[in-house]
Structure 1
């Protein structure tokens, strides 16, 4: 039922604007994991009808819904209803996330909305007695990357496999939660969800820009995971989506400590992708406004940003990969062509590699399967748990 609603909404909402439609789909996609409510999303979309392309209106309406649902959370908390408050804070997280995505420049209003998103997720985690959520800093060069770690260990002294989970060009560690973190935990895999360079709090509040040599961040996370006494240092994997398909592929190719790598969306030549977008005056399908590129790379112009992207090519990198490799892509991905997935898969040097293309007939054909997460997430996480030798837990990890 929910999957059917998601698909219908994807085709019905803002058909003349891919970016707006795709971002509504991002919100609808997390309904099963408690990240949104279809009625609340529908109310926002009704208010936006007739204003397609007005990103200021988008910001105001989604932020207003975030404020409204956060107020519900605070009321429930005052009543002592922890469970209701947790659910409301979770949904507010998604609505603030949606609001801030299109806001450029990242002025005080934008950053305030982002802080509200971070705060709401933290409060939801504090109220969720099923998990022990740790907010952590992963040492990185002269600063640190903010992360959320949840252990799947069921008893003192147990060491579990762990996955470094990164988002992509425009996601964050909080949104990752709704994309399968709880499913990984149930399969006995601990998770470090990380705001990596150019992403989330790392770029907004710590000035850590996007970079091509992503193994610097990946290896820093591997160091941190290997330093924990509840993680098996020989069973570490990496998962990342969208542009994260580059992050994970490069990190696993350059650091053999990653025994399994899942690229949730293929990236082959990101410089070419953006060159084509710029040449088309940003008329091609984009998940966020074109300004995001200059901002996330910490540059002053699109041409300078393109210079940063010169290194975002995998042809000479992925032949080095030795660990297991899973590549997942949608046949109707409108941001990155499916042909790039075939190029990446063929070039990968892993002796254990799997290519999974989701079709329109089965669902999941859109970018990173946001049109049907319910079939994509179990496949990805089952593969990771299998390659990392995880033993599924019968119940969620408790505090």
Structure 2
């Protein structure tokens, strides 16, 4: 049952798909996703590879580097081990000196950005390797590359730690220049398994090109807060965004009437939740619209959860876990770690978590169906041809909105299909920022 529930229809029985950034991306010509480039026969790895390839449009990858890594992985035999080792090695190479003359600042800067991408690629599958305990170290390598890129930017983003409970939120505030001009500002919210470099691809670069400020941050369940501070997701995302808005509102270079909020992947649930309670947000973009993240899990997984914790965990530990193939086990470890510190620590120790009930209940609590009606600001809901994780939910969110609203579906006609348009982030950003500029014009 679990093998079927964790495996996309176009993958082999031993391959398991993962959420947020991983999906059924490889398909035959007459399948549901025609036109998708096949880098790997396994759809989970293929989707992540497509994200890396697409990021090259914003300098966060290099086509030749990605395709060379793909060839090396396929030649060695595709697995979490070969994927992680290959991309980790590529990140290490880029953080070292290039061949030839001494690198200039811009060379070092963008090599660090690409390294952050490749470390992120490796991090995504590390729990399925023979060294899952290196997860935190690999995250820190990617974070170090990101910080190097930021340090060498001109102007460098303002770094700060914004109070949030017992663990501050790390933020990076990008500006087109240091003139202190009051500018529209976008708060970029990552999903359940993205890294800071993804926010460069899905918003920062596009914002700076258009004269906007952009705020990148790690919230609970993300980046530093997850991998280092061990803080998991919260269903009350307004408690995360409100301190960010407070911080922005105190700055003289922010036009407080033009603060926008975007949410990528599962943050298509988080950002609308925050906007329902934070009225200083002037415009909202859900990419895609997500009402119930729990429905992004296969029904065979959801059926394990019962109202009784002991019963649920008994089913999980005695009936499910013993039957899981290794690839499905690795997938579930990855899927559940942002919602459970014990699950994350068990995964790093090479073990399967034993408490299914607690993280599953937390994921279920992210349902925002009954709060979408509170949203008052103009809202753009994105959808994608062949959306894999939340099919139908963007349209359902759009229908429930009572605020001024627009719905846009990115399509396979221009290669922008699949969750978050992995092959077309530039098209993605064009749609988002054209809409934002139109809605905030004259405010």
Range class of TM-score, shorter chain: 0.7 to 0.9
Q: Is the 8 A contact 1:329 1:369 kept in 2?
A: no
Q: Which residue matches 2:207?
A: 184
Picking from 161, 165, 174, the partner of 1:137 is 161
Question: Quick check: 381-390 or 289-298, which moved more?
Answer: 381-390
SS of equivalent residue, structure 1 residue 104: helix
For structure 2, the residue ranges without an aligned partner over 5 or more in a row are 1-32, 304-319, 344-354
Partner in structure 2 of residue 4 of structure 1: none
How big is the shift at 1:292? Answer: 2.3
Structure 2 residue 140 is matched with structure 1 residue 115: yes
Q: What SS is found at the alignment partner of 1:32?
A: helix
The answer to whether the aligner puts 1:265 opposite 2:288 as a matched pair is yes
Contact 1:148 1:173 in 2 (8 A): no
Aligned residues of 2:188 and 2:203 also touching (Cα < 8 A):
no
Deviations 1:47-105 (A, max 9, x none): 221666621221111101111222235x78x8252222222112111111100111128
Q: 1:80 to 1:65 in 2, by over 3 A?
A: closer
Which of 239, 242, 251 in structure 2 is aligned with 1:216?
A: 239
- Matching residue of 2:58: 33
Measured on the aligned residues, the alpha-carbon RMSD in Å equals 2.6
Could you state the TM-score of these two structures normalised by the residue count of structure 2?
0.78
3-state SS of paired residue (1:289): helix
- Aligned partner of 1:347 in structure 2 is 400
- Larger gyration radius, structure 1 or structure 2: 2
CA distance in 1, matches of 2:104, 2:197: 23
Cα deviation digits, residues 194-220 of structure 1 (max 9, x gap): 111101111111222111111111112
Which residue of 1 is the match for residue 347 of structure 2? Answer: none
Deviations 1:222-258 (A, max 9, x none): 1111122211222211011000101111111111111
Aligned partners of 1:69 and 1:92 also within 8 Å:
yes
Corresponding position: 1:297 with 2:320 = no
Q: Does 2:333 correspond to 1:333?
A: no
Q: Does residue 81 of structure 1 match 2:123?
A: no
SS at match of 1:155: coil
For residue 108 of structure 1, report the CA deviation from its aligned partner. 4.7
What TM-score, normalized by structure 1, do the two folds share?
A: 0.87
Residue 277 of structure 1: how far off its partner (Å): 6.0
1:1-399 aligned at under 5 Å gives the runs 10-15=36-41, 17-49=42-74, 54-72=79-97, 79=102, 81-104=104-127, 107-129=132-154, 131-152=155-176, 155-156=179-180, 158-274=181-297, 276=299, 278=301, 289-298=331-340, 300=343, 301-337=355-391, 339-350=392-403, 352-389=404-441
Shift of 1:10: 4.7
The secondary structure found in structure 2 opposite 1:169 is coil
Gaps spanning 5+ residues in structure 1: where? Answer: 1-6, 392-399
Q: Secondary structure at the match of 2:408?
A: strand
**CA distance in 2: counterparts of 1:69 and 1:296, whole angstroms:** 28
- Out of 97-106 and 204-213, give the one that drifted further: 97-106
Could you say what secondary structure the match of 1:164 adopts? strand
The number of aligned residues is: 375
